[in-house]
Amino acid sequence: MRILIRLFFRTLRPFLTPVVLLVDRLAAPTPVQRPEPEQEYVDRQTRALTLYQFKTCPFCIKTRHAIRRLALNIELRNAQHDPVSREELLAGGGEVKVPCLRIVEEDGSVRWMYESSDIIDYLDGRFGTEVDLGDTRPLSNQAD
């Protein structure tokens, strides 16, 4: 039965993929606008984040929409078709399940966060419009 279901979806995939990608594009939210120094600060922070994802996975689409809504420049890695990214995800996170956010913490430790809702909550909590970003100047420009 499982094989039949797989075969069914494999046959449908070439037709479904363009539809999913079109819906993804049409439903994409408008990014938030931040003053330039704030956006630069956020860009510096998001350099430590990488999203492992599949292009047409609905949970990944939901997560990419949150990333777009928050105007975050987070590197996306395709764990479906890029074997290197897939291997990184498996070795680092422990399983090939997407989306997964790789977070390099300030102390250099690495955290792998699975579950789209947890990822979105984390991003909203760090970069949401209600969040006070504090002093957004680069560390080298801040007074001691």
Ligand X SMILES: N[C@@H](CCC(=O)N[C@@H](CS)C(=O)NCC(=O)O)C(=O)O
Maximum distance among all Cα pairs of the chain, rounded to whole angstroms: 66
Rounded to whole angstroms, the Cα distance separating 102 from 119 reads 10
Between 49 and 99, CB nearer to ligand X:
99
Between 62 and 126, CB nearer to ligand X:
62
Rounded to whole angstroms, the Cα distance separating 10 from 87 reads 23
> Does residue 42 interact with ligand X by CB under 6 A?
no
Between 39 and 96, CB nearer to ligand X:
96
> Does residue 97 interact with ligand X by CB under 6 A?
yes
> Does residue 61 interact with ligand X by CB under 6 A?
no
Structure tokens at 29: 């939210």
Among 57, 74, 113, 120, the residue binding ligand X under the rule CB under 6 A is 57
Stretch that binds ligand X, among 27-35, 36-44, 111-119, 128-136 (CB under 6 A): 111-119
Determine whether 89 is exposed, middle or buried from the number of CB atoms within 10 Å of its CB (0-12, 13-18, 19+): buried
